[in-house]
Amino acid sequence: MATRTISQMYDLKGKGAIVTGAGMGIGQAIALRLAEVGAAVLVVDINLPAAGETVRQILAKDGIAIAVQADAASPADAERVAQEALERFGRVDILVNNAGIFPFSPALQTTEALWDKVLDVNLKGVFFYTQAAAKRMITGGQGGRIVNIASIDGLHPTGNLVHYDASKGGVIMATKSLALEFGRYGITVNAIAPGAIATPGASAGSAGTQMTEEVLKSFMARIPLGRQGEPDDIATTALFLASDAAAYMTGGLLVVDGGYLLA
Ligand SMILES: NC(=O)c1ccc[n+]([C@@H]2O[C@H](COP(=O)([O-])OP(=O)(O)OC[C@H]3O[C@@H](n4cnc5c(N)ncnc54)[C@H](O)[C@@H]3O)[C@@H](O)[C@H]2O)c1
């Protein structure tokens, strides 16, 4: 028997949230949606002005947010960020591991430095931010929600992204392992696999990724829903996983790709 309304389940007032890579793109959209339903959001990004812009947008809508500069690849920063969320908001309820990089590089040209950088940001960071947040969730005794932004590349290779694909495949498996260990604390751990989403990092010509018109076109041709995804398509899914509506889901993966993987 349902005892709570849908709006009660999606009400995150009084909750403390951390979103990494929240200065733009998918992370920014997630921070905005969490704040919209009342969560206090620690907006974490390596780019402080970008994090500040997300906070400005949240405050303009009477939300609660603080910008913090931190590196998703750094375990020390993970501890600092989780402690700051605890001290500023009084509790840590939600962590969204969103920060990620996707520099295209053919396997034969991929250097050790590039491999390490991509794995450190995309996979090591997910683990250590989760560990740091989970410690505070367990001490607080209220359980928690961890949402990892993986990728359809963790299931199906785009090409010239072996380092990225390995990192995102790792995120999907780490999500299951962590869900298994943290269930007893009332902490759920789930992942989202976005398809092609229109963000600054994924736009054609983006310096960070070397995403080309050709790759984008071949993606578009395979999408049954006929459009590229918007950051908010992922944000609304992350909000579901962070809410009580997803209370009985853990270790799961939601593919949000407009049907790309069906073709
Ligand atoms: N855009 C897509 O099509 C797509 C598809 C599948 C998965 N994803 C995943 O979604 C996530 C967000 O992607 P996006 O497209 O919004 O990216 P984006 O490049 O548009 O934005 C990423 C944000 O993360 C920040 N960031 C980068 N490295 C960081 C670090 N080391 N520490 C802290 N912050 C850092 C950047 O400053 C930026 O604000 C990534 O994990 C990405 O792999 C994106």
Percent of the chain with pLDDT strictly greater than 90? 92
Ligand 1 atom with minimal separation from the 209 CA: 19
- Is the model's pTM score more than 0.95? yes
Q: How far does the centroid of ligand 1 lie from the alpha carbon of residue 200, in Å?
A: 9
Ligand 1 pocket residue status of 200, Cβ below 6 Å: yes
Q: What is the DSSP string of 208-238?
A: TT---HHHHHHHHHT-TT-SPBPHHHHHHHH
CA triplet 77, 18, 237: central angle to 5 degrees?
135
193 lines ligand 1 (CB under 6 A): no
51 CB less than 6 Å from ligand 1? Answer: no
Residue 20 makes CB contacts below 8 A (sequence gap 6+) with 27, 44, 45, 70, 72, 81, 96, 97, 98, 99, 125, 129
Compute the distance between CA of residue 85 and CA of residue 157 in angstroms, rounded to an integer: 36
What is the pLDDT at residue 245?
98
List the CATH number of the domain containing 125: 3.40.50.720
Model confidence at 79, in pLDDT bands (50, 70, 90)? very high
Model confidence over 32-69: pLDDT tens digits? 999 999 999 999 999 999 999 999 999 999 999 999 99
Range 126-147 average pLDDT: 98
How many domains does the chain fold into? Answer: 1
Residue 6's H or E segment, with its range, is helix 6-9
Does residue 18's CB lie within 6 angstroms of at least one atom of ligand 1?
no
Pocket perturbation via mutation, ligand 1, pick of 28, 33, 81, 101 by most ligand atoms within 8 A of CB = 101
Is there a contact between 229 and 257 (Cβ–Cβ < 8 Å)? yes
Q: How far apart are CA 129 and CA 136, in angstroms?
A: 11
List the structure tokens of 173.
């498996």
Q: Which domain holds residue 44?
A: 6-258
Residue 132 CA to ligand 1 centre (angstroms): 20
Atom of ligand 1 nearest to the CA of 77: 32
In a domain, 174, yes or no: yes
Q: What is the Å distance from ligand 1's center to 8 Cα?
A: 30
The pLDDT assigned to 77 comes to: 99
98 lines ligand 1 (CB under 6 A): yes
pLDDT value of residue 207: 67
Residue 174, ligand 1, Cβ within 6 A: no
Which residue(s) pair with 121 in the sheet? none
Residue 94 lies in a domain: yes
Task: Judge whether 169 lies within some domain.
Answer: yes
- The whole-number pLDDT of residue 211 equals 76
Q: Nearest Cα to 149, choosing from 133, 130, 126? A: 126
Pocket of ligand 1 contains residue 24 by CB under 6 Å: yes
Residue 228 maps to a domain: yes
At 182-240, the pLDDT tens digits run 999 999 999 999 999 999 999 877 767 767 888 788 888 999 999 999 999 999 999 99
Q: Is residue 103 part of a domain?
A: yes
5 alpha carbon to ligand 1 midpoint, in Å?
Answer: 33
263 lies in a domain?
no
* CA of 101 relative to ligand 1 center, distance in Å: 5
3-state helix, strand, coil in the chain (%, to 5): 50, 15, 35
Query: In a mutational test of the pocket of ligand 1, which residue from 32, 95, 102 has the highest number of ligand atoms less than 8 Å from its CB?
Result: 102
What is the overall mean pLDDT for the chain?
A: 96
Query: Could you tell me which residues come within 8 angstroms of residue 257 by beta carbon, excluding any fewer than 6 positions away?
Result: 152, 193, 194, 195, 196, 223, 229
Rounded distance from Cα 254 to ligand 1 centre (Å): 18
Ligand 1 atom 36 nearest Cα = 21
Whether 27 is in the pocket of ligand 1, judged by its Cβ within 6 Å, is yes
Q: Which residues are catalytic?
A: 164
Identify the three-state secondary structure at position 104. coil
